[in-house]
Amino acid sequence: MFKTSHERIAAAIQGQWSERPPFALITSLYGARLTGCETQKYYRSSERYAEGQKAVVRLTDPDILTGPFALPLEAEAFGCELVFLSDNPPNIRKPAIRSIADVSALEPPDIDSAPSIVYMRESIRRLVQDLGHEKPICGVITSPVDLPALILGIDLWIETLISDEPLAQDLLAMTSGYFVSYANALFRDGASFLAIPSLFTHPSILFPDHVHRIILPTLHRAFKAVSGPIVFHHGGNPLVPYLQKYMDLPNVAGFALDHRDDLDRARSILGPGRLILGNLNGPTLSSLPLDRILGRVDGILENRADDLRFIFLTAAADIPFNTPVETLKAIAERIRSWQRKGQT
Amino acid sequence: MTLKNTQDHLLNAILSGSRKEAIAILDRWAGHCGYRQTISELLEPVLETIGTLWVSEKISLAAGYLAGKIAEDTLLKAHEHEQAVPEIRGPVVLGNVEDDYHSLGRKLVGIFLKTAGWRVIDLGNDVPSESFVDAAVKNEARVIAVSAMMFSTAKNIAGIRNELDRRGLHGRIKLAVGGAVFRIRPELVAEVGGDGTAVNAMATPALIDRLWREADVQNIP
């Protein structure tokens, strides 16, 4: 019987038996709801963020906590304008630049002084200081190949890749340099691992030729320079059809899968050594009946009963603000009370 | 080169990401018969094929984007050469729902609607429900097409439905909804009060055409 989340996660990493899989729910946003904190304050004050996550611990007692899941804050550090919504993480109102001609003028933010980066780093440090002895803390950061889409907007990034490949390569070199600095800073701040949502690595988004020739080599170089373990997050699209392409990326300890992904298929592709995280659909928890949600929870747990390198995680974006508290509590209780067979 | 061969070359050029080649093929064809005819006999069938491939997830968003930009470019040339594709239908009011700032899908929808001959009134991002309905009433549009990328913002579409119903316009002005989230959760179309959705931007003209015909214009005051 494992007593702490650290022990349970360590067992999963090493493929050792534990009485149940570790679990985490994507409740970065939900902490604001639990503490009644306005999102504009929550995503600006690391103190308020940490208070929110402590409330999450009191409600669900997960095995992992995450730093702010608010990738647009990174885009803000590059010059994008944000909009703060009352029940969602911040979003990008205006990209940093409007035309390809301005791309070469972009500069990476200083990770020690850019306010939104400082907020993210302080949030990690606070979580590590206040809760790190109990639980691993995960930083969530933008992939260097997704950053251009945030900074420029999706259309201008696709346009740049199609019409000016050398410029696209220059931009990726810049975002990669920033990414490596920021990722390694988060490890120095105490993060146990990093989750990296990756949408613009997907052949359903970009031309496959661009993915193979430009995107994956860029990601390979960047991940290689990161000084800790990475969880490759599906980013909103099913990952299994393309999982093979990402298997050789350095430092990737596990893959967080989409709710539509087949976990058995994922395991057969990945082999026994990698972590699989997934795959309850988080954004739907506010609208589905509880018995249906718990049925899905049971299904996932039974499906992965013999998979010692499995971590139960909600897929996709944050669990919605208006999800009933009872729903999250019931999910957490159902996972905690589930018993893996095979050892006493 | 036959029309079928040229269509195949154009399709391959777009799917391989070669904009220059695609534009050169269209320009060469237009040199013989003009841009308007090029759009109808060469470009539109290719767009239809791309739309089918997109639905079956055999091509990327980037290919859809490139197809849209090439269509826009060709449409512009048709206008420049005074062979404009006449706006024979519409107007359609288009916009991203309140709080939504993901403009790519909306822009592509606008391009494909214009290519199909629709007049489009594009209200942009983050449009309040009242503004959609005001614009539709003012311009006598029978369809409002609203885009939302995420679940959290898609829920705001219900505000447009409520506003239409509140003004007694239910059935008279149809509500088309679209965006990535509706592909993942088709049941959301009914939940937010939509009258229909399209699987991608290229399929939107057919949807708008259907909704336009279904709109009950008999009882408009």
Domain ranges of chain B: 3-80, 89-214
Which range among A6-15, A203-212, B31-40, B81-90 shows the weakest confidence by mean pLDDT? Answer: B81-90
Q: What is the pLDDT of residues B154-170, one digit of tens each?
A: 989 999 999 999 999 99
A106 min Cα distance to partner chain B (Å): 22
Predicted ipTM? 0.89
**Could you give the CA distance from residue A120 to residue A97 in angstroms, rounded to a whole number?**
23
Provide, as residue numbers in chain B, all residues whose Cβ is less than 8 Å from the Cβ of A284: 151, 185
Q: Rounded distance, CA A287 to CA A323, Å?
A: 7
> Chain B within 8 Å of A288 (Cβ-Cβ)?
no
B221 falls in which pLDDT band (50, 70, 90)? very low
Return residues 5-64 of A near B (CB < 8 Å). Answer: none
pLDDT at B199: 86
Q: Which residues of A touch B149 (CB under 8 A)?
A: none
Tell me whether residues A162 and B107 touch, CB distance under 8 A: no
Contacts with A90 (C-beta within 8 Å, 6 or more apart), sequence order: A39, A43, A70, A72, A73, A76, A82, A83, A84
Residue-level pLDDT, tens digit, chain A, 344 residues = 667 999 999 999 999 999 999 999 999 999 999 999 999 999 999 999 999 999 999 999 999 999 999 999 999 999 999 999 899 999 988 889 888 889 989 999 999 999 999 999 999 999 999 999 999 999 999 999 999 999 999 989 999 999 999 999 999 999 999 999 999 999 999 999 999 999 999 998 999 999 999 999 999 999 999 999 999 999 988 999 999 999 999 999 999 999 999 999 999 999 999 999 999 999 999 989 999 999 999 999 999 999 999 999 999 999 999 999 999 999 999 999 999 887 75
Cα–Cα distance, A9 to A60 (Å, whole number): 17
Q: Number of Cβ pairs closer than 8 Å across A and B?
A: 67
CATH fold for the domain made of B3-80: 1.10.1240
User: Residue A209 and residue B17: Cβ atoms within 8 Å?
Assistant: yes
- Nearest-Cα distance to chain B for A136, in Å, is 29
Determine whether the interchain pair B101/A85 forms a contact, defined as Cβ–Cβ distance below 8 Å. no
Q: Do B101 and A92 touch (CB under 8 A)?
A: yes
**Torsion-angle region of residue B82: left (phi > 0), alpha (psi -120 to 50) or beta?**
left
Q: State the nearest Cα–Cα gap between B203 and chain A, in angstroms.
A: 18
Nearest by CB: A206 against B16, B60, B99: B60
For chain B, the three-class secondary structure string (H helix, E strand, C coil) is: CCHHHHHHHHHHHHHCCCHHHHHHHHHHHHHHHCHHHHHHHHHHHHHHHHHHHHHCCCCCHHHHHHHHHHHHHHHHHHHHCCCCCCCCEEEEEEEEECCCCCCHHHHHHHHHHHHCCEEEEECCCCECHHHHHHHHHHHCCCEEEEECCCHHHHCCHHHHHHHHHHCCCCCCCEEEEECHHHHHCCCHHHHCCCCEECCCHHHHHHHHHHHHHHCCCCCCC
By C-alpha distance, the chain A residue nearest B54 is A204
Q: Quick one: closest CA in A to B183, which residue?
A: A237
Contact list, B153 vs chain A (CB under 8 Å): 88
Cβ–Cβ < 8 Å for B177, B197: yes
**In this complex, do B99 and A163 lie within 8 Å of one another by their Cβ atoms?**
no
What residue of B is the nearest CA neighbor of A201?
A: B60
pLDDT of residue B84: 59
Residue A339, SS3 per DSSP:
coil
Interface contact A129, partner B, CB < 8 A = no
Cα A297 from Cα A17, distance rounded (Å):
20
Residue A86: closest CA among chain B residues belongs to which residue?
Answer: B99
Structure confidence at residue B83 (pLDDT): 57
pTM of the model: 0.88
Per-residue confidence at B218, pLDDT binned at 50, 70, 90? low
Q: Which residue of B has its CA nearest to A208?
A: B60
Q: How far is CA B63 from the centre of its chain?
A: 16
In this prediction, residue B200 carries a pLDDT of 85
Domains of chain A: 5-337 (3.20.20.210)
Phi, psi angles (nearest 5°) of residue A233: -95, 140
Nearest chain A CA: its distance from B18 CA (Å): 8
Q: Which residues lie below 8 Å from residue B138, measured CB to CB, with a gap of 6+?
A: none
Q: Which CATH number fits domain B89-214: 3.40.50.280, 3.40.309.10, 1.10.3720.10, 3.20.20.70?
A: 3.40.50.280
A230 beta partners = A194, A252
Interface test with B, best of A82, A86, A91, A245 (most B CBs within 10 A): A91
